[in-house]
Structure 1
């Protein structure tokens, strides 16, 4: 707004000054023409005015009211020659034709306050007063042809005062208008600022409420995860007790029954031996199945073991059972923030992943890797077998993987099964990836 005020004020004041100077110059030129026209009709007939014309000019400009207003006077020829001047030393001299003189020879009256720095204006500049320099064309009366230019210098004291007043008034008017516009804009921005402040306060309150709600949701999610972890741990303990009961109860009774059958072989005849063999085979098969079920239900005491020992225990049992070698890479030691439920989940994940790798890939190239990224633990079980078909991948993962996915997601983690394409350094296969969030004891 300040820059606009300066620009508009400067432009308006210049237009006013130009208009006033132009109107004053036109009025003065018209007034002077009434005196000069009869005197200057013969200026194009030589390089000097006739003596009669010079005498008439001196009578007009000396000792009259017009002479008091016009302090200097020159008459120019088109070639830049001065044929008459108030300063006799300039008569007959030729000077460059400036813009004002050129415009006057084209029929335009022009005026300028000051501008006395040309070589022919030394006399006027020495007066030390403000002068209005006016160029007025001199025309032939009968043809209207421009035969010369009259240049005269009018005292401009009153004109400069009027221009100063007009300039201040124009600047004041522009400033008032701009002040009004600025005030209106200030009120608009003030009202908008207040609206923004009120909306910001409302949004701040809503954000605080949302933060409280998010904190509550986080607390509830952690409680749900802790509850799911406790339920999973309780379920595993119940399965462990069921496995122990099967091992210590029905399995022992079936073993005792098998021993008693051996003692009865000598008490029966040859025909009954076949029946005893069948009963003994059924008992031994039942005993083996019960022991396998008990072994699958029971877990070692892993709640307090480091995670590398948990993984090594699962891997060693798998290697002993199937006669394969499983590579283990990644973390060593323990992650203290991993709770009992997460450790059980880790055990079941590695166990299920290795079993699936043995079932679908024949145990080829099985690997287990552990990697921690900030608050997340990533565990990957890989193999180099064909894995599931393209149609079956991501659709049917079997009851084992489905239950494992539920277990992992109940603890806030994620489970991903992907097919890996072959590269120059590594053959293709399947990757079973578990990502668990480490929550500082809740898991």
Structure 2
């Protein structure tokens, strides 16, 4: 489950630790688990198959051998339900004190319905037991065998021997017709078979494990080579990204310094205009006023025209000087700066400006200047294109994102300009956009979604700006 801490999305420790591993180590761990499970399943299946084949082949050989001795002695079961006493004595003598008897420690002769008509253990003769799966298939003509499986009800005596036994069910057929007339069950001592099975299982497990190991080593070599290539590429990409970041920060810093120098230059030009040409023009206006009573006729009319031109020039120079000058950015808060812009705009145009500014402290001068110029230009555009209707400035801070909007309630645009930041688009925002982008932000322009009007928006990442 994902968790959050201090507003940052955190990954579980286990997944984070796993993701820090190289691809080769991830493959080694994940592939190792898969290979071990696969080797276990494969070894289990292979060893089980080997055991099944070995037991079946041994059972078939023993069944064929026993049938050659037992079948002739049990042919009377084709005409009667039990063995004659003579046949039982011959079968008992066959398995007593002979080489065959040393191998076969117990036997049973079965009739249909689970009836035992003869056995080395006389206690079970004449009893009926529920037919097992092996007994049922033996009646169908199939040789069946189990190794060390003496858990059936009729196997109590054999189970008590505590020997490795091969239990074999062999169908006995009538010689003339080939019909199954009985089933002979033999319990052969299988000490050698047990050793053979152990060796066969070990060989099967080793074969599967060796094959899996070779596959794992081959795949790991391929993944290791690919992982090292990817690691080298990632390292190169990180170095390239770090270089690009450093270069971007240098370019961004240079642009910010250039904007600051440009603002200082404009401020100096505004001061020079106010203190130089404006003062000289004011002196000229005073002298012209003094000459007004000394001339008459056509000269008076010319003098009046010159006076009007000089006064208009003074107003124009002072207006330009005010536009180029900046307030005391360093000492004022962002709210005070924007309130000054709004009040100056309202005084100049006679239109109201609503200000909604979240308290934001410790902003660098470059950001304050950028916000000042942005609101100044945005209000000018709102006055020109929306006649100053519903002018509003909104400032919010979401995390490190400074969101500054200048809105109006004009008619908006029927069709938004494709590139509103071009100089020929009539909005005069191209230079301002460069200033904002130099601080890592961007400008957008759109019609308002909450009614008529337009919205000029600036989003600035303070982490990059600072």
Normalised TM-score (structure 1): 0.80
What's the counterpart of residue 223 of structure 1?
Answer: 254
Match of 2:410 in 1: 385
1:430 aligns to 2:454 (yes or no): yes
| Partner SS, residue 94 of structure 2 | helix
1:245 aligns with 2:272: no
Provide the residue aligned with 2:390 in structure 1.
365
8 Å CA contact 1:48–1:92 kept in 2: the answer is no
Residue 352 of structure 2 corresponds to: 325
Could you say which residue in structure 1 is the equivalent of 2:365? Answer: 338
What per-residue deviation string (whole Å, max 9, x for no partner) do you get for residues 368-413 of structure 1? 3444455565543333233566476837543755565566556665
Q: Distance in 1 between matches of 2:59 and 2:360?
A: 103
Which of 65, 79, 82 matches 1:45?
79
SS at match of 1:39: helix
Structure of larger gyration radius? 1
CA drift of 1:416 comes to: 4.2
Aligned to 1:193: 224
Which aligned pairs between 1:274-293 and structure 2 lie closer than 5 A?
Answer: 275-293=298-316
Distance 1:282 1:65 in 2: 149
Deviations 1:259-279 (A, max 9, x none): 3022334xxxxxx2xx24532
Which runs of no fewer than 5 residues in structure 2 stay unpaired?
1-34
Report SS of the residue matched to 1:73. Answer: strand
| CA 192–333 in structure 1, closer or farther in 2 if over 3 Å, else same | closer
Instruction: Output one character per residue of 1:231-261: Cα deviation in whole Å (capped at 9) or x when no partner.
Output: 2321332243124323212342144124302
TM-superposed CA distance for 1:282, in Å, is 1.0
Aligned length: 425
Q: 2:144 matched to 1:110? A: yes
Distance 2:356 2:234 in 1: 50
Where 2:295 maps in the other structure, the secondary structure is helix
Matched, 1:398 2:426: yes
Shift in CA distance, 152/289, structure 1 to aligned 2, threshold 3 Å = same
Which residue in 2 is equivalent to 1:84? Answer: 118
- Taking the aligned partners of 1:334 and 1:89, their CA distance within structure 2 comes to 103
Q: TM-score of the superposition, structure 2-length normalised?
A: 0.76
SS of match in other structure, 2:73: coil
Question: Offset at 1:7?
Answer: 3.1
SS class of match (1:142): coil
- Classify 1:235/1:3 alpha carbon distance in 2 versus 1 (closer, same or farther; 3 Å): closer
Q: 1:53 to 1:349 in 2, by over 3 A?
A: closer
The structure-2 alpha-carbon separation of the partners of 1:245 and 1:347, relative to structure 1 and needing over 3 Å to count, comes to: farther
Change (3 A) 1:111 1:228: closer
Deviation by residue 1:36-80 (Cα, 9 ceiling, x = unmatched)? 333322224334333433343344344443344333333222133
Shift of 1:96: 2.4
5+ unaligned residues in a row in structure 1: which ranges?
A: 266-271
**CA–CA distance in 2 between the matches of 1:62 and 1:196?**
72
1:260 paired with 2:291, answer yes
CA distance in 1, matches of 2:304, 2:102: 151
User: What is the distance in 2 between the residues matched to 1:373 and 1:312?
Assistant: 21
SS at match of 1:38: helix
